[in-house]
Each structure stands twice: as structure tokens, then as C-alpha cells.
Amino acid sequence: MTVSEPQDLNTAEVQAATAQECPPLESNSEEHLEAPAAVLDAEEDRLYVAGQWQLMWWKFRKHKMALVGAGILIVFYLIGIFCEFVAPYNPEAYFIRYKMAPPTPLRIVDATGKLRAPFVYHRDRSKDPETLRDIYTENNEITYPVHFFVKGEPYKLWGIWESDIHLFGLGPDIEDQGVFLFGADRMGRDLFSRLCYGARLSLSIGLIGVFLSLALGIVLGGISGYYGGRIDTAIQRVIEFIRTIPTIPLWMALSAALPADWPVVKMYFGITIILSLVGWTGMARVVRGRFLSLRQEDFVLAARLCGSSEFRIIIRHMVPSFLSHIIASLTLSIPGQILGETGLSYLGLGLRAPAISWGVLLQEAQNIRSLAQAPWLLFAPALAVILTVFAFNFLGDGLRDAADPYAR
């Protein structure tokens, strides 16, 4: 998609040409041959001289759901990046007295009906005499105010910066009470903190895997499409062959091949490489198709005649033409990778404890005791995954509509 040029030049030329070739027929047709207004108003002028990315951004802004999706994703990724700061507790810290505790209700209206700063009530634990189940009752007398930017347990942000300030919490004095926004699991660990740390791994695996696929796909698809002929056929055979192996069994088999005792980071990269090994084929096909059709375009010929090197033609002229479409495909394939990692970890083949990802959290929720007594253990990670997938789908839809040059 080339940069649009001011329209009035071309129109004038076209007018001149047609005026010579087609003699005026009847009186009404003369109206059609009149020159249009040569002066455009400011709005249209801005439209005509806007660059490609500007046009995309304007179009994208109109798609409300895509904006919502983008907003959700920005929040999630910020939480993932700053998870040590956002989470009130260390994900491995457990509160012995609050195993399987339901979520703590945050209140702003106290028992007398007054509006106060956010606080939580003290919770007593008692055992049901028949089933020996833990019952948590709130004690209206004792309140603990919830502070923001509070000192909590020390941590190292990204392993580099030491700090002990958390986004919210009960304060450093209160050791045995916890504010569990999403409840606690069977060891008394705060689920919200674990979700935040899990966001870091789950969300980044999708991104990295997709970028690996993208790199592989663009390189191989580009070579295949640009040179054509036998290289093209060979690469296409390889792609078809990889596609014949069904995805999920392949993932399962490859993940089972990773030794269980690898350290978390190594396992993480192993999983991303496995996920991207299958994904690049789709990207390569798309890129190849675009290259094949763009190869014959006039502007490529013009660039070649001007003496540009092949490399420069590809990078400077051809790639920007389909970059927008590629970005749209990218965003639509990230959820597939996130779901793949979640599914694999849930089966026990991907990341395992003590690594924390949403799939690992779901695996811990997969037993009848959790389902019956602590459904929040299931719903919180499930909701997180579903929201992320939705957000990416809407974002991808919006980007695809914005990048489509034929839609008006």
C-alpha cells in the first residue's frame, strides 16, 4: 500500500485525457466531464496526505471493542511486568490459619453505615462440628484499614531493584491476617498474588512464541515467495508435511520429551520453542502468498530499474505493504499459544510447580475438593485466561479491519 498522494494532480491529468478521447455525447454527460473543485477543504486534505499508519490508527479508533480489548491487555501486561509490586504477598508465603479461605470482601461502608477508607474485617476460623470443615466468619468489631503503597515483604523487582513497597496491603504490623482478593488456596497462599506472578509467565510465553514463529515464518516464507521455483516447492512440501502432524499430540509428545527436572527457565524456553515450531507454518504461507503477488507489482519493477539491491527492495518496499496484515495475524495467533501453554501445564506436561503460570494454577484447582469447597481457585485463573483470549480476539479483529485497504 503506497502512500497516498494529493488527489488533484491525477484527476487533472485524467480529465485532460478523457476529454480528448471521448467526445461529448449529450447535454447531461457534459456535467460529468466538468472538472471537480480543485480546492479541497481542510478535512479531506488531511485525509489525503495522511500516512499509512495514521489512517490505520484513525480507523482503529472507531472500533470500540478493539479499544476495550487493548485497554484490558495493557492492564494485564502491566500487572505482569510489575507483578512483584502489584501483588500484596509473596506467592509462596502461606498463612497457616487461612487455608482455602474465601475471598476477603473489601468494604468502604462500615457497620454503622459510615463511609470510610477501604478496610477489611477480622476473620475468625472455626471448624464445623460435623464435617470438620473450616468456616470463616467475619468479626465486625475489629477492622484493618487497607493501605496503598504500603511497606510489605521485601522483593527484588525483576531480580535487580530491591524494594518493599507494594501496591496495597494491610501494613507491615499485621502478620497473621491477609487480604485475599481472590481467596487462598489449600496451603493458604494468596491466589491474587499467584495470579499476578502467573500473568508474567503466561502472557510472555504467548508473545515470545509468536515472535519466534514470526521470525521463522517471514524468513522462510519470504525466501519461498521471492525466489519461487524449486526453492518454493521444497519449502512448501516441508510446510505441508509439518501441517499434517496434528498439533495437540505433537505438542504433548514434544513436551513429554523435555526432562522433568529441568530448571524453570530452561523449561520455559523449551515450551516456547515447541509452541512456535508449529505456528510458523501459517505465517510462512501468508508471507509467501503476499510475496508472490507483490513480486509482479510495478513499483517493484521500478525499484529494480532504479538500481536498488534485492535486499533493499524487499525490506524497504515489499515488507511495509503487508506489515499491517501480518500484525493482525500475529495478534490473532497469540491466544492460541497462550491456550497451548495453559493446556500443556494443566496436563502436567508444560510448566510445573514451583513455576507459577495460569495453567499450573488451573491444575492445582483440578480436584473435587477444590471444586466443591473453593470454586474461586478454578474461576480466577479461568477468568483471567478467558478475558485475555477475548481481548486479543477483539484487538486482532480491530487491527485486521483497520489494516484492510479495501474496506471503506
Write out the residues near other proteins by the rule CB under 8 A. 240-241, 244-246, 248-250, 252-254, 256-259, 335, 339, 342-343, 346-349, 362, 365-366, 371-372, 375, 378-379, 382, 385-386, 389-390, 393
Q: Where are the beta strands (DSSP E) in 87-160?
A: 107-109, 115-127, 134-145, 147-157
- The span from the first CA to the last CA of the chain, in angstroms, equals 15
* Grid coordinates given for 258: 523435555
Tell me the pairing of strands 115-127 and 147-157. Answer: unpaired
**How near is the Cβ of 259 to other proteins at its closest, in Å?**
6
In angstroms, the CA 221 to CA 239 distance is: 10
C-beta closer to other proteins: residue 165 or 258: 258
Q: What is the CA radius of gyration of the chain?
A: 29
C-beta closer to other proteins: residue 94 or 394: 394
C-beta closer to other proteins: residue 69 or 152: 69
Q: What share of the chain is helix, strand, coil (3-state, %, to 5)?
A: 60, 15, 25
**How near is the Cβ of 83 to other proteins at its closest, in Å?**
22
**How near is the Cβ of 407 to other proteins at its closest, in Å?**
14
User: Which residue do the cell numbers 491487555 mark?
Assistant: 73
Which residues contact residue 213 at a Cβ distance below 8 angstroms, ignoring those fewer than 6 apart?
Answer: 276, 279, 280, 282, 283, 333
**How near is the Cβ of 79 to other proteins at its closest, in Å?**
20
User: Which residue do the cell numbers 498522494 mark?
Assistant: 5
C-beta closer to other proteins: residue 289 or 320: 289
In angstroms, the CA 271 to CA 287 distance is: 25
**How near is the Cβ of 251 to other proteins at its closest, in Å?**
10
C-beta closer to other proteins: residue 219 or 248: 248
**How near is the Cβ of 67 to other proteins at its closest, in Å?**
17
* Grid coordinates given for 265: 527457565
Residue 299: in which H helix or E strand, if any?
Answer: helix 298-305
C-beta closer to other proteins: residue 167 or 347: 347
C-beta closer to other proteins: residue 303 or 374: 374
Which residue type occupies 278? V
**How near is the Cβ of 229 to other proteins at its closest, in Å?**
19
User: Which residue do the cell numbers 501453554 mark?
Assistant: 341
